[in-house]
Each structure stands twice: as C-alpha cells, then as structure tokens.
Amino acid sequence: MKSNFKSELKTVLKVAKWEYLLKLFISIMLRGILLIIPILFSVAVNSVTKNDKDSFVFMIIVSIILAGVYRFLEGYNQVSYYKLYNKIFKHFNEQAIRMTKDNSLFSLSRFSPGQYTNMVISDIDIMSSFLTALVIRVVQLIEFIIIFVYFYFLDVMVFAITLLVTLVMIFISLKFGNKVQKRNETRKSKLDKLTSASYDYIGGIKEIKSFNLFEKIYPSIKEKRNDYLSANADYNINFNCSNSMILFVFELLRLMAVLFIGLKAMNGHADVGVLLVIYNYYQKIIDNFLIVLTLNVEYRNMHVSLDRYNHIREYTNSTDKKVSINKENVKGNIEFRNILYGFRDNPTLDNISFSVPKNSITVLTGGSETAQTGIFDLLLRLNRQHEGDILLDGVKVGEINDKSYYSIISSVRRQTMFFDISIKDNFTMINEDFNKVVEVCKLVGLDEEIMKLDNGYDTIVDENTPLTMSSKKLLVIVRMLLSESKVLLIDDVINVLDEKHEKRLMDLLMDMKKNHTILIVTHSKRIISRADKVLEITNNNVVELGK
C-alpha cells in the first residue's frame, strides 16, 4: 500500500490543529525578527556615516529589544515543537498499535520483530519530525520569496542572477534526490536486517551459550552490521558532499554580490549599510536553500517511512460497520462451512465443514498441530480463511465487532505468555474482582500452591517463578475462566496437568458445559472419553466420530 501524504497531512492537521497554529505563530515571529534586524543594522551603519547619533542609538535599542524577544520566542519554540511532535507521534503510534491488533497472524508474520520495531518507532519518528518541521519549513520558504522581492527592488541584475542560480541549483538537487531516496531505502533495509539479527541473538542467547554457537552465529551479525554501516556511510557521504558543492556556489554568489554592491556604494549609487543587508540576506538564502535540500530529502525519507508504516495498515481488518452482540443472548453454536485455509495450492484445511454444538464439550483430535492451531486461529480471528464461512449462532464471525466477539470467546493456547507483573495483576486485568480470582484458583486447585509462594498472589510471573509445569498451565486456564466467556477454546494443555489437577479441571468443565460451548484439542483418551462430540482431523479434513 503506497503512502498518501495528503490524506495523512489532513488527518494530523485535524488532530493537532491548535498545536499547529501555535507553532505557525511562533515561527512567523522568529523569522520576521531575523529579517528585520539586518535592516535595522543597515540603518544604524548609515546613521554612523551621516553622523546621526540619535538615529544610531535608537536603532541599536530597538535591535536589543528584538534580540531579547527573539531569544524568548526561541526558547518557547522548543516547547511548541515538542507539543506538536508528541501529538503527531502519539497519533501514528496509537494507530499502528490498533492496526496491529486488527491484523491477522499471517499478515504480521511478514515482519520480523526488528522490522516491526523500526516501523512503529523509527519510521513514526521520521514521519512525526517531518510533519512537525513542516511549519517552519513553509515559513522559511516564504522568507525566501521575501528576500528575492527585496533583491528585485535593490538591483534587478543581482535579483536576476541570484534567481537563475537558485533555480539551477534546485533542479540539480531534485535530480540528486532520486539517488538519495534509493540509498536511504537500502540503508533502512540493511538496518531492518541488523535489528532482526540482534533480536535473534538475544532471543537465542541460551542456545548459543549451551551449544557453543557464538563463532557460527557472529559472522552473520558481523556481515549485517558491516552492510548497514556501508549503506549508511554511502547515504550520508553522498548527501553531504553534494550539499557542500551546491552551498559553495551560493557562497561564491554572495561574495560577488557584495563586490558588485560595494563598488556601487563607492560610486555613490548605494548606501554602505546595504552591504550588511546583502551579506546577511545571502546567508539566509544559503540557510534556506539548505532547508530546500533538506526538505527534498526529508520528504523522500518521510515517504519511505510512510510506505513502510502503511504495510501494517495494508491487511488491517476494519471494525467499521460491524454488528454488536449481547453476550447474554449468545447460545454458542459454532459452524465451519467449506473452509479453505493455508496455502491455496497446499491447504492446511481443505474445504472442511463441521459444527460445535452449544452446551457441550467437543474434542478435536488427530491431524497435524498446524491444522489444530489453524482452527483455533480462525475461531479467534487471528487469521482469515480463503474460502468459506465461520458462523456463531448463524452470524459470520467476521461481521461481529471486536468488543462483542472477544467478550464471547476465550482460549488457552500451547504457547502462552504472562506479563512480567504479579500473579494478582495478571488476573485482575481480566477480572477486577480479586475475590473471584481466588474463588476460581480454589476451584482448579491452584490457590494452595500460590499461597505457598513467599509473596503469594504478589509473586512476579517470569521463568524463575517457583511453580511446577502443571501449576503454570493452570495459571493460563484460570485466566481463561476469569474472562467468563461463553465459548472456551482449550488447546492441547490439559494432558500436561498432573492426574489430580486434570480430573479436577475436567469435573469443573463438565459442570460448566451446561451453559458453555467448550472445544478441546487433545490426544488423551481419558479426556476424549468424557466428550459429548469427537471430531478427528484426517487428510486436512474433519470427520465427526460421534461420542
């Protein structure tokens, strides 16, 4: 999905309207003062040559006042800059986080962790910086025009030569910008690879140490680091060297203009003070042309970042105009109709159809782990099918809004995570009633083990938490039960529990099935024997075995 800069600009102008107006006002004041001060000094110099003491002192006093106002505004300019920058960054970052939630796992798998991090932080930083600096850039371009108008009224020849050189230099810089953009795209691609390699390194450090793999892993990291450094140097060296050559042309032009006006002043055809204005205004032309060069490159860099950012948006499943369902009215009948899922030429699920009835325990067994996981991912809307429909009480699950749907369905997966906070805080994020948390923990036989921990429910959950594997699996089962969802999906985790906890949990589920739809993935004969319905995955299809 290509970037739409105009659309994004309109959006941020609405989101940060007052911050933009404040930044615009301060920018106009700052650049206006910088234009006025050289003229005041010009008048002061002319007053000295004419021995006009009063005029000279007055001009200096006014200049001092304006200098003080300028410094005050310059300080507040930083405040206004970051007010605007923060508003824009928050807007894009929040959008990215929400769009991530609305992407399927398959869509998100296109990004490595390093690439994703760069998109939602580094690229958003570039976009936010450009859109924030755009205010001062526009004011500086207006300042550019004012200076040319001054030159026109000062001397037509100086104006014509300056305008011609400026247009030629702009043309050259724009042509050069295409090469800069390509170098920047290469640089970002190399950075993504280096960041991903660094993530892989720290994520696999245990295996690297255990199997003594450092000498085999390091060359790949080293190669990616060197590739990035080379691409980064190539981008910056070419950009800065070209800028230096262009700015040298303007420096030469400035000195030639000073020479020309100086000779006119010696012949009495110009004021001496004009030399100060000429010298200062040419410096502003140099500064502003550098801004033009920077703006050109920044604009191209921003488009690169915006294109990358829009990859997150590309497969976002919009929640607009989706239906809302009252959880209390949900019966819990699930139906898969002619589902084609996975790769079209080698599907994981090939035209499957089956139903999971309400108020029952249905077991899904057999087949590959990929097929089992695929069914759960489709029910949880983490991925999307190519063909067919998945229905909940006759309504397509894709047409139900997120808030409604995820209050209805909850799951326990094989690979789960807890946040690096206390057991209590992990649970109360799902259900704020701590008494309910303790009640559910007692029901599954977990409360006693938690209370044996030094900090009880305040124990931080991490890999060092002193709980058995069975108890850690019970933690995620409790979290699912606390959601009080109508539909419960339980991946192949119950058989990991010890026999006592397995029986206790199954007894609880047998009681809960009176008003819940429960789907369990398992190969355990003990669990299968207690199911109301058994579905077996065979050759990428699902066959109903009955009870």
Q: What is the CATH number of the domain that holds 454?
A: 3.40.50.300
Q: Is 129 part of any domain?
A: yes
* Residue reference for tokens 């262009």: 246
247 and 111 in a common domain: yes
Contacts of 301 (CB under 8 A, 6+ apart): 126, 130, 181, 184
Together in a domain, 301 and 394: no
List, for residues 363-395, the tens digit of each pLDDT value. 999 888 888 888 998 998 888 888 999 999 999
Q: Are residues 283 and 405 in the same domain?
A: no
Task: Write the burial class of residue 51 (CB in 10 Å: 0-12 exposed, 13-18 middle, 19+ buried).
Answer: exposed
Which residue(s) pair with 249 in the sheet? none
pLDDT mean over 13-34: 92
| Same domain flag for 183 and 210 | yes
Domain boundary among the residues 312, 342, 372 is at: 312
pTM of the model: 0.65
Residue 321 in any domain: the answer is no
- The answer on 373 and 246 residing in a single domain is no
Pair 183, 283 in one domain: yes
What 3-state class would DSSP assign to 292?
Answer: helix
Query: How far, in Å, CA of 408 to CA of 392, rounded?
Result: 10
Mean pLDDT over residues 264-282, rounded?
A: 78
Instruction: Write out the residue range of the structural domain in which residue 224 sits.
Output: 5-312
DSSP-based three-state secondary structure for 417: coil
Task: Look at residue 353 and tell me if it is in a domain.
Answer: yes
**In 3-state terms, the chain is what percent helix, strand and coil (to 5)?**
70, 10, 20
274 with 352, same domain: the answer is no
Task: Tell me, yes or no, whether 164 and 237 share the same domain.
Answer: yes
Do both 340 and 239 map to the same domain?
A: no
Rounded Cα distance, 387 and 133, in Å: 47
Residues 376 and 468 in one domain: yes
Spatial separation of the C-alpha atoms in residues 36 and 288, rounded to whole Å? 16
Q: Of 283, 312, 341, at which residue does a domain stop?
A: 312
Q: Residue 1: what pLDDT?
A: 46
Q: Are residues 62 and 184 in the same domain?
A: yes
Number of domains in the chain: 2
* Dihedral sign computed on CA atoms, order 361, 490, 327, 427: positive
Does residue 257 sit within a domain?
Answer: yes
Measured distance CA(496)–CA(470) in Å, rounded: 6
- The answer to whether 358 and 333 are in contact (CB under 8 A) is yes
Q: What is the CATH number of the domain that holds 215?
A: 1.20.1560.10
DSSP 335-353: EEEEEEEEETTEEEEEEEE
Which of 270-274, 343-347, 457-461, 488-492 is least confident?
Answer: 270-274
Same domain, 331 and 213: no
Q: What are phi and psi of 243, to 5 degrees?
A: -60, -40
Query: What Å distances lie between residue 508 and 441, 443, 477, CA to CA?
Result: 12, 8, 12
Query: Which residue did the predictor score with more confidence, 193 or 171?
Result: 193
| Residues 6+ positions from 312 with CB-CB distance below 8 Å | 96, 99, 100, 103, 119, 120
So what's the pLDDT on residue 211? 65
Instruction: Name the least confident of 105-109, 215-219, 251-255, 284-288.
Output: 105-109
| C-alpha distance from residue 540 to each of 353, 366, 367, 441, 479 (Å) | 11, 10, 7, 37, 31
Domain boundary pick from 257, 289, 312: 312
Which helix (H) or strand (E) element contains residue 400?
A: none
pLDDT class for 101, splitting at 50, 70, 90?
confident
Which DSSP letter does residue 461 get? -
In a domain, 319, yes or no: no
Tokens matching residue 513: 């099935």
